[in-house]
Structure formats: structure tokens, C-alpha cells
Amino acid sequence: MTLAVRYTAARTLDTAPALSAPPGPGEVELAPAYVGICGTDLHIFHGDMDARVKTPAVLGHEMSGRVVRVGPGVEGWAPGDAVTVMPLRWDDTCTACRAGHRHVCQHLDFIGIDSPGAMQQRWTVPASTLIRLPASVPLVRAALVEPTAVAVHDVGRAAVREGERVVVVGGGPVGILIALVARAAGADVRVAELSAHRRALAAALGLSAWDPAVDDVPELVREWTGDAGADVAFEVSGAAGGVDTAVEVLGVRGRLCLVAIHPRPREVNLHRFFWRELTLVGARLYDRSDFEKAVALVADGTIPAERLISKVVPLTEAPAAFEALEGGGDVMKILLDCTDDPQGAAV
């Protein structure tokens, strides 16, 4: 008998025994080692996604672990292999899939939201979702591959080029990861973030950060760019003010990449889009190439995953971990240790 953390109602999680059935054809059973809690998990915890999530629901899609058993017909994987999971299951028949955009399948099963996720000690997934991890990467750090893949996809969607000036509005985990990936692409990056803790972390990582509550961010961008404006802005805050800032800082033909999930429609300065011929692009999820690049960035230290992990707690302490993340600014990433005998991980 193994344990699983389940969402049962708004602000209610429990830890319950879970049965582990043998993997079926094309499936692999995993032993999750570490699972990150992300912003979407918090939205579910708050009850904001009850129309979509069927309770009791096992959450979690940022993970690392090892193969335990392989089902019939599975080749190339063996017990003990270190893996992460690209948690997407698509139908391959809809218009989006036929056009080659399977990650935004019109009937997408996002594993960990629409079907059981990784916050459990045994997890069965399609073998097609597995991404191999190099032996050199500790599993605790590899739990950040999935959010790094988000950042890789975002930077790709914005077509960030070497030498461009980039503003990231929102310095939470994904915002910092976007800034690091954009910097690795050769961009000059600034971060706008309200939390002093997160600004300090950005500075420790060599990123310049501004406080939009005190600093006139558009004016600072004008000074920084010689009145040209930024080439790219990423809106990662999810706030109306963040949208305004991201639009305002852009120069002629600048690109705004929308990353945050906004819970309601926002007013947007469309005159600015007209006047400066701006472009708005949406960025959602990732594909396999994004994951593979993310693995490489974590492996070579471009993404200092250990610096972004605030703490690692046992699976049974998931409710307290979710509550700690609600405070936002003083923590970045909390990982749940799903191993059978958690001792706490050195990162």
C-alpha cells in the first residue's frame, strides 16, 4: 500500500492509501521522488478549478523519479531509469493535433489536473510521456525540469534573440526561469517584481530587478534603452497592473508574450499596439524539444535549480506546504518528498 495526496474540496487535502495496479500495455509505473507545487496546483487548492477537476484528485505535474515496472509492449525503459514526465496526453485527431500543435490539443488531458498526478508514491503514466534524465542530475534538482520547459517554450514563442532587451514582469519561479533562459539566449534582461525576497534572489542570480511599487519601470526602461523601449516583455504576474507595465515598456514592433493565467478579462491599451505595431503572443505548456532543452539547461547549471528550491518536505506535509506558498513572496519553490522513507534532500 502506498500513499497519495488528494484534493477533496476547496482548501482541503488529505493523505490516503492508494492501490498500485500493474501498468497496462504502453504504460510505465513510476516511483515519484520529488514533486513541485506550482501556481496551477494552488488555483486547484483554492477551489478555482472545481468545474474541471474531479474529486478526489491527485495533483502534481512537476516531478522526478524512477521507473518501477514497465507494461506490455514498452521498449527502451527499465526499472531504475531516472525520468521526468511531460504530463500531456492528446487525441491526435483534433484540428490542433493535425496541424502539429499537439500540446494545445482541443481535448488535452493535462495529467495532474484532468487525470491523476504525481503527488503519490506510485504513479502509472503512458510510456510516451517519459523524458530521460542524465545520471549526473540529482533527482531533487530534476523536479524543476517541467517549469524550466515552460520557460524554454515561452522564450521560443517570443523569439528572443541575442542582444535584445527583455523585461520580465513577475519574478516568481516561472518569471525567474524565463529570465534565466532569455539570458542564456543572449538577451539583456530586467525583472519587475514586488517581493523583496524574490528581487534579492534575482540579484543573487545576477539579474537586475526593479520594484514596481517604488520604481517607475517604464521610465527606467526608457533610460536603459535610450528611449527605444524593450524588444520583448513577458507578463508573468497575472495582475492587471502587470499587463499595463508589460505593454508600456515595449518599443516599436515589440513583442508581448502572455504567460500568466489571468482569471478574468483585462483592459489592454490597444492604442499602444496600433501606435507601435506591437505583437501579442500566447504561450501555453511545451513540447518534447522544450523538455529536452530544459533537461540540458538544468544539467549544465544554466538553471541553478537548487537556488530556486526553498525547501523540501515529506509528502504527508503537503497541506502545510500549500498554505506556506499562499504567502507568495518569501518562498519560491517547495518540493514534496514522495520517497518511501523521506530523510530530507540536500539541494
**Which member of 40, 279, 302, 339 is catalytic?**
40
**Which member of 43, 101, 197, 262 is catalytic?**
43
- For residue 40, indicate whether it is catalytic: yes
DSSP state of 340: S
Per-residue cell: 210:
526593479
Closest CA to 178 of 157, 195, 162: 157
Phi, psi of 185, deg, nearest 5: -80, 0
DSSP state of 124: E
List b or e across 224-233, with b for residues whose CB sees 16 or more CB atoms inside 10 angstroms.
Answer: bbeeebbbbb
List b or e across 113-129, with b for residues whose CB sees 16 or more CB atoms inside 10 angstroms.
Answer: bbebbbbbbbbbbbbeb
Closest CA to 240 of 267, 213, 261, 221: 267
Mind spelling out the 3-state secondary structure of 3-15? EEEEEEECCEEEE
The contacts of residue 118 (CB under 8 Å, 6+ apart) are 30, 32, 35, 58, 60, 61, 62, 63, 65, 85, 87, 112, 338
Tell me which residues are annotated as active site: 40, 43
